[in-house]
Amino acid sequence: MNCKGVIHEISNYIDGELDLTIRHELERHLEHCEDCTLVLDQTRKSIEILCDSEPIPLSAEVHSRLRAALREKFAKKPA
Ligand SMILES: [Zn+2]
């Protein structure tokens, strides 16, 4: 899995919705990719803030907004 794949799956990963195989791939990537570890960390923190008082899963809208924001962030970064 590359960085793009991680970003694509990151909200599912946080929600625990990923297949075990994909999750393992993602975790293997995180072990050696500082960028994605940072993105995961920041995403987790934003979700904690967003969901502070609601212990419900993220809505589809939040998912897509989050993905768009992350994609934009990565697009600005040199590969
Ligand atoms: Zn990465």
Q: What is the pTM of this model?
A: 0.60
CB atoms within 10 A of CB 39: 19
Per the listing, tokens 């803030």 go with 49
Mean pLDDT of 5-16: 91
The helix (H) or strand (E) run that includes residue 50 is helix 34-50
Tokens of 14: 């946080």
User: Pseudo-torsion of CA 30, 68, 9, 46, nearest 10°?
Assistant: 60
Q: Separation of 38 CA from ligand 1 center, angstroms?
A: 9
More confidently predicted of 59 and 11: 11
| Interval 30-67: pLDDT, tens | 999 999 999 999 988 887 776 665 555 667 778 788 88
Instruction: List the shell of residues around ion ligand 1, using CB closer than 5 Å.
Output: 3, 33, 36
Tokens of 76: 């600005």
Q: How many residues does the chain have?
A: 79
Q: Separation of 53 CA from ligand 1 center, angstroms?
A: 31
**How sure is the predictor about 73, in pLDDT bands with cuts at 50, 70 and 90?**
confident
Q: Separation of 32 CA from ligand 1 center, angstroms?
A: 8
